[in-house]
Amino acid sequence: GIQVEQSPPDLILQEGANSTLRCNFSDSVNNLQWFHQNPWGQLINLFYIPSGTKQNGRLSATTVATERYSLLYISSSQTTDSGVYFCAAYNTDKLIFGTGTRLQVFP
Amino acid sequence: DAGVIQSPRHEVTEMGQEVTLRCKPISGHNSLFWYRQTMMRGLELLIYFNNNVPIDDSGMPEDRFSAKMPNASFSTLKIQPSEPRDSAVYFCASRPRQIQETQYFGPGTRLLVL
């Protein structure tokens, strides 16, 4: 089955710093989605991004499907960005989640 | 829109008891998914429905788990009898009719089986 790997597993930043999170997937996937799980456990949609680049405020994502990876960029990080970031690749109707990147942003 | 609604938000029960988790998907969504999140296994899909029909239940861990979707606005996940290893956060997600592959997650039910 599809394997989804994320790196780095942990990331510690000071407020204002930029970061790049990576998601590699092992096989052809239909589409890809990025989520943020906040410290209260809620999973929040960030991007649905089968290919190309999307931006939403300080966050942007790029997926290069032919090379089987996606990147999530966080600029000018804030303490509210803390939590776990998951990418999930679609295999037909099923979402396969990566193991996540745990981000801690300190003031 | 209220988003995906799950109840209860927290459940503490004793081993052997029956547990029922409930989910109300976003109105108009035609697919519903149940996930489980644990430290050891991460987020894993248990079962999903399209138009109230179970499509793939290969992720259901064993016969103690069952799920139903009697109508488009309600689904249940039942564990009977519950065991301590079932302790986890259970998420329900729904998917829009028009956008086939974007899933929206509920707040989750945190289950602790003693």
For A101, nearest residue in chain B (alpha carbons): B42
CA–CA gap between residue B99 and residue B15 (Å, rounded)? 40
Give the Cα separation of B114 and B16 in Å (integer). 9
Closest CA to A45 of B45, B42, B39, B101: B101
Chain B interface test: which of A48, A93, A97 (most B C-beta within 10 Å): A93
**Predicted local distance difference test score (pLDDT) of residue A1:** 75
Summary mean pLDDT of chain B: 93
Query: Are A90 and B55 in contact (CB < 8 Å)?
Result: no
Tokens for A20, please give them: 């790049």
Q: How many Å lie between the alpha carbon of B53 and the closest alpha carbon of chain A?
A: 14
For the stretch B17-33, pLDDT in tens is: 999 999 999 998 989 99
Interface membership of B51 toward A (CB under 8 Å): no
List pLDDT tens digits, range A24-61: 988 777 688 999 999 999 999 999 998 999 999 999 99
